[in-house]
Structure 1
Amino acid sequence: MNSHQQVNQLTEREVLAAAAELVAAFSRTDTRAYFAAFSPEATFIFHPEAQRLESRSEYEDLWNGWLADGWSVTGCESTDARVQLCGTSAIFSHTVNTTTRVGEITETLRERETIVFTRQGSRILAVHEHLSTAPSGAAESSAASAAASSSTPEAGVVASGTAA
């Protein structure tokens, strides 16, 4: 491996920081910051959707439809984070508890999420996200430790927020 490749390799700290920014933007329903965390060519697989979304713009269209219906994220907590480094790319996985609201209806979902990050120039962007349901009891053992952790990248990815 040459020195240029070594310089471009991702570190766990960089991936956790990128994931923390993405989760924090999502938890605030901050559309601009959230989608800025994804490459335009990113793909998405979400368990409630019938098909894979083939680009960031396809997901943005779906997201904007949700917003038009009055949807917002009111809280998002990440637990059980894991980073697998693969040179200039990395796989981030975690369990996420997300609370959303549409009008007066609030719903909390417990899901597992995998996000593939890659270095693109000076930025670390998500190029794929896969969201699936979590079986009951998934990552509950780490919930207590997550509650005690801070939102710094070194401690893992924990964010909660209230939609504006």
Structure 2
Amino acid sequence: MSETEQQVLAAADILIDAFARHDRDAYFAAFAPDATFLFYHVTESLPSRVAYEALWHRLEQEQQFAVLGCESSDRSVQLVGECAIFTHAVRTTVSTRAGRATLDERESIVFARTGGGWLAVHEHLSPLPAHAESDQTLEDSAA
């Protein structure tokens, strides 16, 4: 693994650790102000860090949302010029007014090199298929 890939993984670890501790300040500090966000459970895309922070605050207020823990696995880094694409499977335990839930998801985070290191500029979260190995693929359908 290259030094650059290690730097990106370190930036991802800081972001994931802050999220796992529900440390809003440290978590959002890992994102550029103009970062964008696509979440499968949110109807609209979020065009900025401020928009995501507002959603997070609203979820805390209305649903008593809290992150209780987060585990990252199946990690990969792809370098593309001054950007890096970090992908992983993520298991998150959250608490809301409705109770506790464990979410199995996969995520792509695009990092951009900045003067001080790497900042996340885009996050895309999707559900992890329950049985990815046994599901029929598009290639199977097309055959």
TM-score normalised by structure 1 residue count: 0.76
2:89 alignment partner, one of 87, 92, 95: 95
Separation of aligned partners in 2, 1:76 and 1:47: 18
Separation of aligned partners in 2, 1:83 and 1:122: 19
Separation of aligned partners in 2, 1:20 and 1:49: 24
SS in 1 for 2:43: coil
2:106 alignment partner, one of 108, 112, 123: 112
Runs in 1 of length 4+ with deviation above 4 angstroms? Answer: none
Equivalent residue, structure 1, for 2:76: 82
SS in 1 for 2:75: strand
1:50 alignment partner, one of 28, 43, 56: 43
SS in 2 for 1:49: coil
Separation of aligned partners in 1, 2:70 and 2:132: 16
5+ residue gaps, structure 2, are 134-143
Equivalent residue, structure 2, for 1:15: 8
- The alignment covers a number of residue pairs equal to 130
Separation of aligned partners in 2, 1:93 and 1:103: 30
Equivalent residue, structure 2, for 1:40: 33
Aligned residue type for 1:108: T
Cα deviation 1:64-114 (Å, max 9, x = unaligned): 111213111111011100000112110000000001001460011100100
Equivalent residue, structure 1, for 2:141: none
Q: RMSD across aligned C-alpha pairs, in angstroms?
A: 1.5
SS in 2 for 1:67: helix
Select the structure that is richer in strand.
Answer: 2
Separation of aligned partners in 1, 2:54 and 2:42: 13
Aligned residue type for 2:49: R
Separation of aligned partners in 1, 2:127 and 2:99: 20
SS in 2 for 1:11: helix
The structural deviation recorded for 1:30 is 0.2
SS in 1 for 2:86: strand
The structural deviation recorded for 1:121 is 1.4
Aligned residue type for 1:76: C
Q: What percentage of residue pairs aligned between the two structures are identical? A: 52
